[in-house]
């Protein structure tokens, strides 16, 4: 019985080689063709031909001369071209829509966040709003000479990526939405088909590229507001599980026999440490309903009470932190990350929630590993997921440049 | 800021190409050089040269003629050579030592399990026993014309793979053992350096190759006896986490505020569903001490009571199954596998523990995913981890044949 695992393969050797050379350029830039030949094992002729193809598609460019260490002769350096191709990241959230454009060097070229009350609005109407945001972003990119290769959309809910459906986004009041179909119909046509992922995964990717970066190692990024999600990043890639449902930290049970959860379980983390649960425990349940239309209304009211030393608010947030730490201890025992990043509501609540979270984490996950993982606080703002989404487009182009290359060739003929 | 993820790279293009061709041969065998050229994009000349190198190292061989579908002309087929190179899997467990030899086709060529009471024995003495088992296995392989490329050892404990140390193996009474050093000193020299991993990970790999195979998809394999571990397999590879500590299912908290655990936490799964906890709950605590030297003494006594309908034993195992299901629900929410495989003590207890486990799993992990993962029972015996260990050696040779090729070349000159 043999069943070797099949690695991801590109269609042809030339497509694979284009990806190999572009990968080396993006890691070593600026880099001479001679060093690229050393690094890849290709002949200099092959390297030159591949570089010419990538340059023709606007993916790399020649910079000034570099001096090759040993040989001393100046050579022309090749770098990723940050001025021709871009990725578009979009985000639908409860209180806002966001768009951002990154060039291939992951510089932010356009960033737009529009407050919007999307609760209970029909998916078609929300996506129409997103379409106009996307069109403005693509126009803004065009004004800078950038051509958008593709778009990824961050959605706040449980996605069935195989079926192309958004199963549920309780805070939007959506269930079983044909997200893939609606987005592909609603967004402007781009070389790469529109894709989507949940905001927990994309927010975690945003942290990799615009937060603390590679020093995070493998990490769990806690996100979410009313719900609690986690994005798991291993070796720079999101770990999604078999069906895209990995990272449901909000449904880790921290209080068996506790309050019933919409998921069918009892005592899930969300029931203790989700935004509404914290506000209720802090005696602020009514605040939620009245100020829910403003992006961070109830949360900033909570922070004000915490700063004022309100005992009930402090106790509620400590309790939430402790439960979060318990759930994270379980996640650490199963996933063994280097770092935990507190994002979502927990970044704002960190001064009060983090000590309890760290204590619970150390108690539950300290001995097997000797030391619990480092806990950091996200410094990214509301559109972290949109940044992560645009990064994912850039990653796809760098991983598989052939799609843009063949389109460039098609245009030329 | 740029920090592209660096993929695993082989040293030179030829080394990489050898791996590509061997991978295609192992997936498509028997396969003609013409089809290999199609599949890899290499020229037929390059394919022929790579195949000749692999054949020279005993990794592939020519079979009889195959008929190429479209062209109709018979061609010589190439296959992985199962008769020259082998992998050695070894296992140190509380009650036994095991060795097995697999050829490159993963056929079992030698399998040897020796009962031994290793509790409290010095690591050096246990490894001396393992050395003699390894020597006999290598001799047995040699008698069949097989040359052993490397060995992997399964250990029942928490490993720090970066530091080369076995941090603790409580059931052996070992802590902080320089496992890497002792094994490399104790085992016969082989082309690949001796490596080791914990029995949960290697038992899980055994399941992939000798149990239900690829139909498992991504899965969590529950193992362990006194402790409870889990091997997580994603896309055919073990998911180890940042430091090799992933899969500590036994320390998922199922009863906050429950019995204290050696890990420093309270109410860990092991404290409810580990072998000793079950025996205690079944009123069989004394049995453990007296019959612990026999491989499955206390467990077979428990099974006898279950078969006889002993109410206390049935309740203890149901409770264990329920807690296991709770912990697995948490693991499913975080990892989203296709399948759960019950191994270790739970394979023998499955008729009584599984219904409660499945009910708890459905309650805690059913709604987000719509359906909980399939639960299967391992059919592998005691040396599953040794089989997984030998498989890992085979996997390494197929992934990177260059190490054996250069040694073969070195021998020839």
Please indicate whether, in this complex, the C-beta atoms of A367 and B253 are within 8 angstroms of each other.
Answer: no
Residues in A touching B253 (Cβ below 8 Å): 326, 329-330, 364
Alpha carbon distance B238, B247 (integer Å): 10
Note whether residue B186 is domain-resident.
yes
Note whether residue A206 is domain-resident.
no
- For residue B291, the model assigns a pLDDT of 41
Looking at every residue in chain B, the average pLDDT score rounds to: 86
> Strands A219-223 and A229-234: what pairing?
antiparallel
Q: Which of B80, B100, B130 is the last residue of a domain?
A: B80
Note whether residue B143 is domain-resident.
yes
The string of DSSP letters for A287-338 reads HHHHHTTSTTHHHHHHHHHHHTT-HHHHHHHHHHHHHHHHHHHHHHHHH--S
From the list A4, A241, A262, the residue facing B337 with the nearest CB is A241
How many domains would you assign to chain A?
3
Please indicate whether, in this complex, the C-beta atoms of B265 and A167 are within 8 angstroms of each other.
Answer: no
Alpha carbon distance B176, B170 (integer Å): 11
Please indicate whether, in this complex, the C-beta atoms of A241 and B255 are within 8 angstroms of each other.
Answer: no
CA neighbor of B207 nearest in space, from B217, B196, B197:
B217
Grouping H, G, I as helix, E, B as strand and the rest as coil, residue A167 is strand
- Residues A370, A396, single domain; the answer is no
- For residue A157, the model assigns a pLDDT of 83
CA neighbor of B250 nearest in space, from B276, B272, B280:
B272
What are the tens digits of pLDDT across the range A113-136? 999 999 899 999 999 999 999 999
- Residues A316, A372, single domain; the answer is yes
What are the tens digits of pLDDT across the range B33-89? 999 988 887 888 989 999 999 999 999 998 877 766 555 667 889 999 999 999 999
What single-letter DSSP state applies at residue A372?
A: P
What single-letter DSSP state applies at residue B275?
A: H
- Residues B226, B120, single domain; the answer is no
CA neighbor of B338 nearest in space, from B230, B202, B204, B233:
B233
Mean per-residue pLDDT, A273-292: 75
> Strands B339-342 and B219-223: what pairing?
parallel
- For residue B262, the model assigns a pLDDT of 76
**What residues contact B311, with CB distance under 8 A and at least 6 apart?**
none
Q: What is the ipTM of this complex?
A: 0.81
- Residues B251, B372, single domain; the answer is yes
Residues in A touching B241 (Cβ below 8 Å): 218, 335-337
- Residues A269, A335, single domain; the answer is yes
Please indicate whether, in this complex, the C-beta atoms of B3 and A246 are within 8 angstroms of each other.
Answer: no
Note whether residue B3 is domain-resident.
no
Percent above pLDDT 90 for chain B: 53
- Residues A50, A22, single domain; the answer is yes
Rounded (10°) angle between helices A311-335 and A345-369: 50
* B347 pLDDT more than 60: yes
Q: Which of A80, A101, A123 is the last residue of a domain?
A: A80
| Higher-scoring residue by pLDDT: A65, A147 | A147
- Residues B185, B333, single domain; the answer is no
Give the domain CATH number at B31.
1.10.10.10
CA neighbor of A141 nearest in space, from A101, A105, A106:
A101
What are the tens digits of pLDDT across the range A325-378? 999 999 999 999 999 999 988 999 999 999 999 999 988 776 666 678 999 999
Note whether residue B109 is domain-resident.
yes
- Residues A291, A317, single domain; the answer is yes
- Residues A161, A89, single domain; the answer is yes
- Residues B363, B231, single domain; the answer is yes
Full domain range(s) for residue A48: 13-80
- For residue A186, the model assigns a pLDDT of 85
- Residues A189, A221, single domain; the answer is no
* B5 pLDDT more than 50: no
| Cβ-contact A194, A379 below 8 angstroms | no
- For residue A367, the model assigns a pLDDT of 61
Mean per-residue pLDDT, A89-95: 91
From the list A106, A241, A363, the residue facing B336 with the nearest CB is A241
Beta-sheet strands, E only, within B210-338:
219-223, 229-234, 237-238
- For residue A412, the model assigns a pLDDT of 38
From the list B4, B330, B338, the residue facing A253 with the nearest CB is B330
- For residue B305, the model assigns a pLDDT of 95
Give the domain CATH number at B278.
3.30.420.40
Q: Name the β-bridge partners of A115.
A: A96
Residues in A touching B271 (Cβ below 8 Å): none
- What is the number of alpha carbons within 13 Å of residue B11 lying toward its C-beta? 6
Please indicate whether, in this complex, the C-beta atoms of A335 and B12 are within 8 angstroms of each other.
Answer: no
- Residues B127, B217, single domain; the answer is no
Give the C-alpha distances (Å, rounded to integers) separating A187 from A122, A132, A196, B407: 17, 9, 12, 56
């Amino acid at each position: 019985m043999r069943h070797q695992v099949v690695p991801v393969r590109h269609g042809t050797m030339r497509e694979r080689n284009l990806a190999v050379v572009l990968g080396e350029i993006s890691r070593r830039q600026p880099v001479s063709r001679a060093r690229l030949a050393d690094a890849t094992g290709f002949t200099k002729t092959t390297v030159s031909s591949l570089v010419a193809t990538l340059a023709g598609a606007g993916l790399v460019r020649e910079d000034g001369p570099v001096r090759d260490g040993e040989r001393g002769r100046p050579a022309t350096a090749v770098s990723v071209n940050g001025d021709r191709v871009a990725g578009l990241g979009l985000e639908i959230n409860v209180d806002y829509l966001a768009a951002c454009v990154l060039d291939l060097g992951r510089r932010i070229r356009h960033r737009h966040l529009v407050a919007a009350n999307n609760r209970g609005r029909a998916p078609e109407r929300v996506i129409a709003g997103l379409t106009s945001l996307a069109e403005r972003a693509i126009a803004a990119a065009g004004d800078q000479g950038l051509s958008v290769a593709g778009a990824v959309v961050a959605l706040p809910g449980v996605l069935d990526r195989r079926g192309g459906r958004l199963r549920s986004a309780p805070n939007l009041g959506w269930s079983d939405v044909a997200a893939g179909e609606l987005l592909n119909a609603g967004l402007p046509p781009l070389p790469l088909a529109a894709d989507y992922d949940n905001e927990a995964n994309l927010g975690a990717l945003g942290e990799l590229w615009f937060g603390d970066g590679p020093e995070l190692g493998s990490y769990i990024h806690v996100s979410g507001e009313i719900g609690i999600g986690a994005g798991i990043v291993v070796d720079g890639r999101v770990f999604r599980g078999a069906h895209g449902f990995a990272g449901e930290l909000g449904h880790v049970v921290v209080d068996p026999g506790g309050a019933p959860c919409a998921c069918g379980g009892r005592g899930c983390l969300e029931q203790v440490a989700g935004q509404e649960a914290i506000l209720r425990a802090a005696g602020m349940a009514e605040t939620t309903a009245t100020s829910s239309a403003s992006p961070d209304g109830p949360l900033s009211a909570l922070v004000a009470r915490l700063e004022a030393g309100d005992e009930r608010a402090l106790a509620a947030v400590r309790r939430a932190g402790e439960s979060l730490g318990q759930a994270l201890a379980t996640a650490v025992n199963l996933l063994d990350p280097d770092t935990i990043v507190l994002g979502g509501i927990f970044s704002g609540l960190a001064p009060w929630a983090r000590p309890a979270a760290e204590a619970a984490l150390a108690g539950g996950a300290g001995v097997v590993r000797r030391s619990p993982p480092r806990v950091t606080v996200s410094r990214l703002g509301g559109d972290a997921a949109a940044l992560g989404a645009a990064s994912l487009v850039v990653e796809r182009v760098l991983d598989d440049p052939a799609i843009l290359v063949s389109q460039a060739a098609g245009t030329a003929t």
